[in-house]
Amino acid sequence: MVEPLQLRDLAWAFTTFVKCALLLQLVRRKFLDDYPWFCTYVASAIVQTLVVAIIYQTPGLSELVVWRLAWGSQLIVVCFRFQAVVELIRKILGAYLGIWALAWRLLFGVGVLVMANSLVFSKGDWYWISVNVDRGLELSMAAIIVTLLLFARYYRLPIQRLHLALAVGLCLYSTFFVVDYTLLEKHVQQFAVFWGFLDVLTYLATLLIWLNAVSFYPKLATQLTPPVIPKELYGKLSSELNLRLYHLNKQLSQLFRSEDRHW
Amino acid sequence: MNASLLFFLFFALILLALLLLAARSAKQPSRPSVDAFESLSQSRHCSRLSQIQQALRPEDSEYLRDSGHAGLMHELRQQRRRIALMYLVHLQEEFEMLLEISRALAVMSPEVVGMQELERWKLSVTFAINCAYLRWRLRLGLQPASGFTLLSNMATEITRQLDNATTRIAEATVSGAEQSALGRKKINGF
């Protein structure tokens, strides 16, 4: 029977292979210019895997040092992922000048609020600080992506399939990371190896979503621009709305006078 | 179960549910904005408000009871309630259309005022709740008059916001045209 540790190592190796394939596809399909932060994030994740593997193989390092190095490198990767999220938001909303100003304030507010709440609800122990910041950032990113998609849905903004897949992948991994880590922290310390396996599996699923998107979804050469309404139509629309306003107000003033006598 | 565990698990589950909803809806094709503007020229249901109010007045049918036709009066009131319900559906469609135009305007506008957008969002939520409430009141045969006035107020408020937005867009267009004309004049005069 295969041990959980061996399974996790296998999954880890396969994940690294998929990450390399993803980076290769990103380079091959010339995503470096259009999505520099996303590419940097994938590259940093590969480097982190190598760094963590070397740390674990190096003899004589104390458990605390290994812990700090591993989670410290994770924080760097998460920061790159955060930049990738910002990049994606710009790609989706950047063309709409009017709502962009509103959107970035809203998304920034959501991010800060969720991050602050995460830290308030986290353990106070300094030993867990990097982990708590990491979890807060992950939850914050997930909340920002969900808000972005809801915002785009409300304004009926078109989202490219590629962008949607990247956003869903980023959000899914962040959310599952928070769930996995919260359960590990509180209940399943004794099943840490199994938890690690679940974490790797979640990440693998996300990588496969991205690999599929990067390989098969079309990358539009030009950014979609919002439609422009001619000046004549503005004038027509404005007068039509004024007429409606006048009629409604007239109706209302009649209604107010007769309201008390109603059924 | 402590507060931390509850917070993170609950929040993560909510996010997953919202992600499913948002990702699924994002696939829906967006309605062409020009269609929404063209629908402005269609007839308005709000203009029938006074007739509906009149039809729902008790004195409009009470004379039937006085003349010994109580059954007929109940039937007439039921029919009028059905018409009022149909009117409510059309009123909701009109409200949705106005919201659609507001969204299209916001997307094309060079500047959007956050408070106004938030206010419109609150209005749409309140409208949906009041509409459902009024529908049930009508079905149960209760007094609908104040509810109709409330809905009508909301439609007016949306229209007022739309008017402000279109005025701003028109001003921005005119000022942009003037600036570019000035720029051309300067280039020619140079």
Could you state, in order of their start, the residue ranges of all structural domains in chain A? 4-216, 231-261
Contacts of A235 in chain B (CB under 8 A): 170
Distance from CA of A254 to the nearest CA of B (A): 8
Give pLDDT tens digits for B37-87. Answer: 566 555 555 666 777 777 777 777 777 777 877 788 888 888 888 887 887
A44: pLDDT strictly greater than 80:
yes
pLDDT band at A25 (very low <50, low <70, confident <90, very high): very high
Q: What is the largest CA-CA distance in chain A?
A: 89
The 10s digit of each residue's pLDDT in A154-191 is 888 888 889 999 999 999 999 988 888 787 766 655 66
In a domain, B165, yes or no: yes
More confident call, B26 vs A124: A124
If pLDDT is split at 50, 70 and 90, which confidence band does A70 have? confident
* A226-238 per-residue burial string, b: 16 or more CB within 10 A, e: under 16: beebeeeebebbb
**Could you tell me if B53 and A262 are in contact, meaning their C-beta atoms sit under 8 angstroms apart?**
yes
Nearest by CB to B15, from A143, A241, A249: name it: A143
Does residue B25 form part of some domain?
no
User: What residues of chain B lie within 8 A of the CB of A157, using their CB?
Assistant: 30, 107
Task: State residue A262's pLDDT score.
Answer: 42
CA distance B187 to chain A (A): 24
- The verdict on residue B5 lying in a domain is no
Measured between beta carbons, the chain A residues lying within 8 angstroms of B19 are: 142, 145-146, 149, 168, 171-172, 175
Whether the pLDDT of residue A80 is over 90: the answer is yes
- pLDDT of the residue at A192: 62
Q: What pLDDT is stored for residue B127 in this prediction?
A: 74
The whole domain housing B62 covers 32-189
Residues of chain B with Cβ-Cβ distance to A175 below 8 Å are 12, 15-16, 19
Kindly indicate the confidence band of residue A38, based on its pLDDT and cuts at 50, 70 and 90.
very high
Is the model's pLDDT at B15 over the cut of 50? yes
To the nearest whole number, what is the mean pLDDT of chain B?
69
Q: Of all residues in chain A, what percent carry a pLDDT higher than 90?
A: 27
Domain count across chain B: 1
B49–A96 C-beta distance less than 8 A: no
* pLDDT value for B114: 67
Indicate yes or no: CB of A179 within 8 angstroms of CB of B8.
Answer: yes
Q: Is A259 within 8 Å of B26 when comparing Cβ atoms?
A: no
Under an 8 A CB cutoff, do A252 and B15 touch? no
The dihedral over CA atoms of B165, B166, B168, B173, expressed in degrees to the nearest 10, equals: 140
Domain A4-216 indexed as CATH 1.20.1070: yes
| Mean pLDDT lowest among A34-43, A84-93, B94-103 | B94-103
pLDDT of residue A261: 43
Residue B175 has a pLDDT of 61
Q: Is B152 in Cβ contact with A252 (below 8 Å)?
A: yes
Whether B30 and A158 lie within 8 Å, measured CB to CB: yes
Distance CA A69, CA A51 (A): 9
Answer yes or no: is pLDDT of B182 > 90: no
Q: Which residue has the higher pLDDT, B9 or B59?
A: B9
Question: A262 to chain B: which residues are within 8 Å by CB?
Answer: 53, 56-57, 143, 145-146
CB half-sphere exposure, B44, CA atoms < 13 A? 21
Closest by Cα among A92, A87, A75, A109 to A38: A87
CA-based nearest distance B188→chain A, Å? 25
Nearest-CA distance from A93 to chain B in Å?
10
DSSP one-letter string for chain B = --HHHHHHHHHHHHHHHHHHHHHHHTTSPPPPHHHHHHGGGSPPSGGGHHHHHHHT-THHHHHHHHTT-HHHHHHHHHHHHHHHHHHHHHHHHHHHHHHHHHHHHHHH-S---HHHHHHHHHHHHHHHHHHHHHHHHHHTT---HHHHHHHHHHHHHHHHHHHHHHHHHHHHHHHHHHHHHHHHHHHHH-
pLDDT in tens, A203-256: 889 999 999 999 988 876 555 566 655 545 545 554 454 455 445 444 444 443
Six token digits for residue B100? 């659609």
What value does the mean pLDDT of chain A take? 78
* Amino acid sitting at position A104: W
CB A46 within 8 A of CB A60: no
Highest mean pLDDT among A114-128, A226-240, B78-92, B161-175: B78-92
User: How confident is the model over B82-97, as a mean pLDDT?
Assistant: 78
3-state secondary structure of A159: coil
| Closest partner CB to B112 (pick from A102, A237, A252) | A102
DSSP string, B14-63: HHHHHHHHHHHHTTSPPPPHHHHHHGGGSPPSGGGHHHHHHHT-THHHHH
Specify if B171 maps to a domain.
yes
8 Å CB contact of B30 and A102: no
Which residue of B42, B76, B101, B108 to mutate against A (max A Cβ within 10 Å)? B108
pLDDT of B103-126, one tens digit each?
777 777 766 666 667 767 777 777
Mean pLDDT of B139-157: 63
Best of A188, A237, A249, A252 to substitute, by most chain B Cβ atoms within 10 angstroms, is A237
d(CA A26, CA A24): 5
Mean pLDDT of A111-121: 83
The answer to whether position B135 is within a domain reads yes
Size of interface A-B (CB pairs under 8 A): 188
Query: Residue A251 and residue B50: Cβ atoms within 8 Å?
Result: yes
CB-nearest to B47 from A114, A164, A247 is A247
Q: Which residue has the higher pLDDT, A261 or A93?
A: A93
Buried b (16+ CB within 10 A) or exposed e, A133-170: bbbbbbbbbbbbbbbbbbbbbbbbbebbebbbbbbbbb
Select the residue from A113, A139, A168, A241 to test the B interface by mutation, using most B Cβ atoms within 10 A: A241
In this structure, is residue B7 part of a structural domain? no
Which pTM was predicted? 0.73
User: B134, B157, B159, B169: which to substitute to probe chain A, counting the most A Cβ within 10 Å?
Assistant: B159
